[in-house]
Amino acid sequence: MSIQTRQEALIQEFGVSSNWEDRYKKIIAYGKTLPEFPEQYRTEDNRVKGCQSQVWLHAQLNDKGEIEFQGDSDALIVKGLVAVLIKIYSGATPSDIILHPPSFIQALGFEGNLSPSRANGLFSMIKQIRHYAMAYQALQQMQKK
């Protein structure tokens, strides 16, 4: 499933919630679905800078050239946002991640309905995901030479 298709599905899923209280509950529920984050990845290198909460994102390239993300946070809503981003971007190629901006954020009104610190944290997480994608894309290009 492409990133664009995943974003459209997320927009549909959250679009049925008519108010932000329901959307917050859905975001928190997403966070509860995250698998246990391995302790070995709770490093400073995996910590997302720019988040008020503690947030960790770990990425690795699989055999198919797709990036698999794992993440965690110490705050419920932020953990849910991590889960949403993993749902959108995990299993995508580096070039797909780079080519597909997070259009779901504006479509769902995340910017205007999250607190400023959470919105900043969300954008910091996206920035980190894109940095991982750029690094893995450069690595793939080097390996082809």
- 51 catalytically annotated: yes
DSSP 8-class letter at 35: P
* Residues with Cβ within 8 Å of residue 102, at least 6 apart in sequence: 7, 85, 88, 126
**Separation of alpha carbons 31 and 117, rounded Å:** 18
**Helices 20-32, 3-15: crossing angle, 10 deg rounding:** 130
Quickly tell me which residue has 């290198």 as its tokens.
45
Q: Which of 27, 51, 81, 125 is catalytic?
A: 51
Name which of 132, 144, 140 is nearest 67 in CA terms.
Answer: 132
* Residues annotated as part of the active site: 51
